[in-house]
Chain A
Amino acid sequence: DAKTTQPPSMDCAEGRAANLPCNHSTISGNEYVYWYRQIHSQGPQYIIHGLKNNETNEMASLIITEDRKSSTLILPHATLRDTAVYYCIVRPQTSGSRLTFGEGTQLTVNP
């Protein structure tokens, strides 16, 4: 699986958009970009995933660059409950393969 690079920590003001970057320069053509988050020691929670088009759901938006070497997760109106570690994971969407977690980004939403 391609390696991802994320900043170790970010801060965001409550109500503002949180933009979390991820670099995945070695991504290959059949690999998707997944985002999960982990609130304290709870189980990782799926947020969103995409291949090359931008995606949006009720939780977030995912912007993938045209060359697919990087992406940004956007939480449009961050709340205190969005404070968590956010993981960007690259994985082929075949054969039920494992998720390989990195260190992620600790997002702290401040009041």
Chain B
Amino acid sequence: EPEVTQTPSHQVTQMGQEVILRCVPISNHLYFYWYRQILGQKVEFLVSFYNNEISEKSEIFDDQFSVERPDGSNFTLKIRSTKLEDSAMYFCASLPRAQETQYFGPGTRLLVL
């Protein structure tokens, strides 16, 4: 069964550094999402992406964040200058069509020191 994959599974970085989290959505899916979950808290929506542009973003998704689908298969989340509070699990999800359900990847655990 096709799966959403994410790399790396864990990343440790210093505050102020840039990180890029990578996701390979399920082939032929059209909608892509990033969510995050701070330890012990709820899963929070960050951004959705469709037709090569952001379709929706939350208040968390400020200028420090950006998303890209550079080559038609990967979907990336970049954090320009990481802060301590960016430490969280980051989940990618994809959706084949608007009326379907979202499938999540296993997540990347980001730790900012």
Contact between A43 and B91, CB atoms less than 8 A apart: yes
Known: A44-B91, A96-B31, A96-B48. A101 touches B42 (CB 8 A): yes
Contact between A41 and B33, CB atoms less than 8 A apart: no
Question: Roughly how many angstroms separate A43 CA and B106 CA in the complex, as a whole number?
Answer: 5
Task: Please classify the interface of chain B as helix (H, G, I), strand (E, B), loop, or mixed, using the class held by over half of its residues.
Answer: strand
Contact between B101 and A46, CB atoms less than 8 A apart: yes
Contact between A46 and B103, CB atoms less than 8 A apart: yes
Contact between A42 and B43, CB atoms less than 8 A apart: no
Task: Please classify the interface of chain A as helix (H, G, I), strand (E, B), loop, or mixed, using the class held by over half of its residues.
Answer: loop
- Is A81 in contact with chain B by the CB < 8 A criterion? no
Q: How large is the interface on A (under 10, 10 to 19, 20 to 34, 35 or more residues)?
A: 20 to 34
- Is A103 in contact with chain B by the CB < 8 A criterion? yes
Known: A41-B107, A42-B106, A44-B91. A94 touches B99 (CB 8 A): yes
Known: A38-B43, A43-B91, A44-B43. A99 touches B105 (CB 8 A): no
Contact between B56 and A97, CB atoms less than 8 A apart: yes
Please give 4 more A-B residue pairs, beta carbons under 8 A apart, in addition to A34-B101, A41-B89, A98-B48: A93-B99, A96-B50, A97-B48, A99-B45
Residues of A within 8 A of B (CB): 34, 38, 41-46, 49, 87, 93-103
Q: List 7 A-B contacts (CB under 8 A).
A: A44-B43, A94-B98, A95-B55, A96-B48, A96-B55, A96-B95, A99-B43
Q: Which 3 A-B pairs have the closest CB atoms?
A: A43-B104, A96-B31, A101-B43
